[in-house]
Amino acid sequence: MKKGDNIRKPNPLPDLESDYFITEFIPYLLNNITNSMNQKFKKSLRKFDLNVSQWRVLVALGVRSHISLTDLGQFTAIDQPSLSRIVDQLVDRQFVTRMPRPNDGRFNEIALAPAGRALRDSAWPVAMAHSEQMIANLLPEEQEHLRVLLKKVAANLTRE
């Protein structure tokens, strides 16, 4: 096999007058799924006085605590200005802490505070139920296949 043989050739352009864009175009489908999912999840998070982005930060800090705002932004895929505002809100509510890095005071470390951990733990069953509802009509092997495919797509987007 020659170099490049395993690269898939792009499909021919669809008829732009067809409904391809709204029924088959993968970026459109993913965007619609994400928007719909976030709207439903946002409603579920209201009882915790959280929005989806704040939830993502709390969960991320439970996995990777004491990290810089830059690292948190990479982990959550939230742009730095928005993330800074979200962290400020969570600090004000005492759900996260922001402290100077011990070995380099020029940088701050963001960490999950005990109240943030408790809030995340309380909201976690709601998040799991939301996730399970989203894929309820998929067989377990289809769910796993979907995860594999989405990870491959994500990897494609991080390539230079």
For 98-143, write each residue's pLDDT tens digit: 998 888 778 899 999 999 999 999 999 999 999 999 999 999 999 9
% residues pLDDT > 90 (the chain): 76
Separation between Cα atoms, residue 39 and residue 32, nearest integer Å: 11
- Residue 116 counted as domain residue: yes
- Residue 141 counted as domain residue: no
- Residue 107 counted as domain residue: yes
Q: Is the pTM of this model over 0.85?
A: no
How many domains are contained in the chain?
A: 1
- Residue 140 counted as domain residue: no
The pLDDT tens digits of the residues spanning 19-41 come to 888 888 999 999 999 999 999 99
- Residue 72 counted as domain residue: yes
Q: In this structure, what CATH number is given to the domain that contains residue 99?
A: 1.10.10.10
- Residue 118 counted as domain residue: yes
- DSSP for residue 81: H
Task: State the DSSP string of 10-40.
Answer: PPPPPPTTSSHHHHT-HHHHHHHHHHHHHHH
Residue 106 is part of which domain span? 41-124
Is residue 101 within 8 A of residue 52, CB to CB? The reply is no
Separation between Cα atoms, residue 126 and residue 84, nearest integer Å: 26
